[in-house]
Amino acid sequence: MKRAPVWLRAAALVLIAWIAGAAGAQTVDHAQHRFGGAEKWAQVFDDPERDAWQKPHEVLQALKLAPDATVADIGSGTGYFAVRLAHRVPKGRVYGVDAEPDMVRYLAERAKREGLANLTAVAAKPNDPGIPSAVDLVILVDTYHHVPDRERYFRNLQRSLKPGGRLAIIDFTLDSPVGPPRRARIPADTVKKELARAGYGLAEEHAFLPNQYFLVFRPQMR
């Protein structure tokens, strides 16, 4: 059987993830929804063909992380960004945060297998990512639209940022050919307004991702 194009497989994956409570969902009711089988999903999450539109190298370049930076990747899943971040900050620390136990297990095993001592898998709780210590950067990739009561969530998240710390949000645009159903997507302007109410100011906006917006914020109040 001919293999489906990567964009079609990605679209199907994200649709299923949205319905079932995806790996990146920090607030899904896990009594009702599960997202196990991490090895299976890793074949799509970490498919090299994803790089064409996710542009991870360009994303990491834009973040300008110091080698000793500490980062929390909320909704890390199988480690697509968390692993790359760990290589990017060899003297720092990366927390791969996820609410799905099987994803946390998988990432912990992957970090050990790939010799990434600076990558720690963290089990999140609903409404609390459980970041072990303050970080220089929190990043959410395709996860923002899963978070309910976002103003409270992100206001509380400021406690996990070091002075001068940043919050990066990458998520699907309304017209992206991949991603959750259009009704579940949150426009970039809405993200800006919601985070402004949560006490953040927009610091940077990058436009090089074809299917997603890329916004970077800094806390404006403590």
Q: Which residue has the tokens 């109040």?
A: 221
Residue 99 included in any domain: yes
Q: What is the CATH number of the domain that holds 158?
A: 3.40.50.150
Q: Residue 222 and residue 217: Cα distance in Å, rounded?
A: 14
The pLDDT tens digits of the residues spanning 202-214 come to: 999 999 999 999 9
Residue 215 included in any domain: yes
Which residues constitute the domain of residue 115? 6-219
Tallying the residues shown for the chain, one arrives at: 222
CA distances from 36 to 43, 78, 102, 103 (A): 13, 11, 5, 7
Q: How is residue 136 written in tokens?
A: 């220089």
pLDDT classification of 125: cutoffs 50, 70, 90: confident
Residue 139 included in any domain: yes
Q: For residue 140, which phi and psi values (nearest 5 degrees)?
A: -125, 120
Residue 205 included in any domain: yes
The pLDDT tens digits of the residues spanning 148-165 come to: 799 999 999 999 999 999
Q: Residues 170-198: what's their mean pLDDT?
A: 95
Taking a C-beta distance cutoff of 8 angstroms, is the pair 31, 131 a contact?
Answer: no
Residue 71 included in any domain: yes
pLDDT classification of 179: cutoffs 50, 70, 90: confident
pLDDT classification of 26: cutoffs 50, 70, 90: very low
Residue 1 included in any domain: no
Q: Residue 145 and residue 179: Cα distance in Å, rounded?
A: 11
- Number of structural domains found in the chain: 1
Q: Residue 26 and residue 143: Cα distance in Å, rounded?
A: 8
Q: Residues 172-201: what's their mean pLDDT?
A: 95
Residue 47 included in any domain: yes
